Amino acid sequence: MSATAAVLCGLGTWIPPHAVTNDDLARELDTSDEWIRSRTGIGTRFIAAPNTATSDLAVEAGRRALKSAQTDSVDAVVLATTTPDHPCPATAPLVAAQLGLGTVAAFDVGAVCTGFLYALAAGAGLVAAGTARSVLVIGADTYSRILDPADRSTRAIFGDGAGAVVLRSGGAGEPGALGTPVLGSDGTGSDLITVRSGGSREPLHTYGSGAGGAAGAGRQAQAGQADPYFRMAGRAVFRNAVERMADASLTAARRVGWEAADIDRLVAHQANLRILHAVADRMRLPRHRCPVHLDLVGNTAAASIPLALSHAAATGRLTPGHRTLLTAFGGGLTWGACALRWPALTPM
């Protein structure tokens, strides 16, 4: 069951229906439409209802991707998310069950905004190893759940959403065949993008009694007040994101024999319009070759690349045969890139 390459053959997306405009935020926070647009390029983001979980978004995007691929079954599900339904268990098995996929392999990937590319690489690896003939790869996040309500910088940036692709085994020369992914990380920058509290290093609550409980309480007190919200060091992240995404993209292009000038479309993680332009400039690519979707939905974290692909394809910005580079940067720090020729498919 070995495969030469993993071929992208289906694409589906979903965003929740509730839109929050910059003017809506300005009624709650010290901000304005001009302030947000000038710094981020974002005009609107969509927020999941209180009773909607990440798995709900992932299921809908996955269902649409399967329909796009004209199939109702896959051998594995890989879900990239920073906002799982629960700390335990993983969310992917629930998504697989709700999609009616049976007892297929299913697992989560945590690489923050690079999550979709890490999941894509994992799915391609399952295909290349012969473990699966087809894989559903999903990026889904509900960042609205982890944002500080009083933090205008993060609330202006992030929105909720999900996007998914189907990979199948095929030949390296086919449209949609993924080139060798480029992945990297730098844990020395782990404090630049973080939700500090809620894990084993700094739990939100300390349980237990006796010596163990007292020691735990002491550690919590020394760490200060728990902080369950997403935090980001914007300037340092900007610098790292531009450098890492541009360099990874050029490396991924070289792996398939492309020069920078050969790249028709650079579909980058939709973090910030200034970052997108700076990456294109660093690669000496015309900015019009870098599709923009964040103005309509904000930064949707692991969902942003499939959402941007779907929008570009639906609006004619991305057409079959386009030499396409996918790239992302996220917490960890993590980054990645992957090349493919865009296939003929209908996004759902």
Q: Which of 9, 22, 240, 269 is catalytic?
A: 269
**Residue 22 designated active-site:** no
Q: Alpha-carbon distance 228 to 54, whole Å? A: 18
DSSP per-residue string spanning 182-239: EEEE-GGGTTSEEE-SSSSSS-SS----HHHHHHHHHHHHHH-S---SEEE-HHHHHH
Q: Which of 9, 113, 290, 338 is catalytic?
A: 113
Residue 145 burial class via C-beta count within 10 angstroms: exposed 0-12, middle 13-18, buried 19 and up = middle
Query: 308: which residues sit within 8 A by CB, 6+ positions away?
Result: 267, 268, 270, 291, 292, 293, 294
DSSP per-residue string spanning 121-181: HHHHHHHHHTS-SEEEEEEEE-GGGSS-TT-HHHHHHB--EEEEEEEEEE-TTSTTB----
**Residue 113 designated active-site:** yes
At residue 103, φ and ψ (nearest 5 deg) are -100, 40
Q: Which of 240, 299, 311, 322 is catalytic?
A: 299
How open is the CA angle 11-13-15, to the nearest 5 degrees? 175
**Residue 240 designated active-site:** no
Find the Cα–Cα–Cα–Cα dihedral 337, 68, 157, 114, rounded to 10°.
-30
Active site amino acids: 113, 269, 299
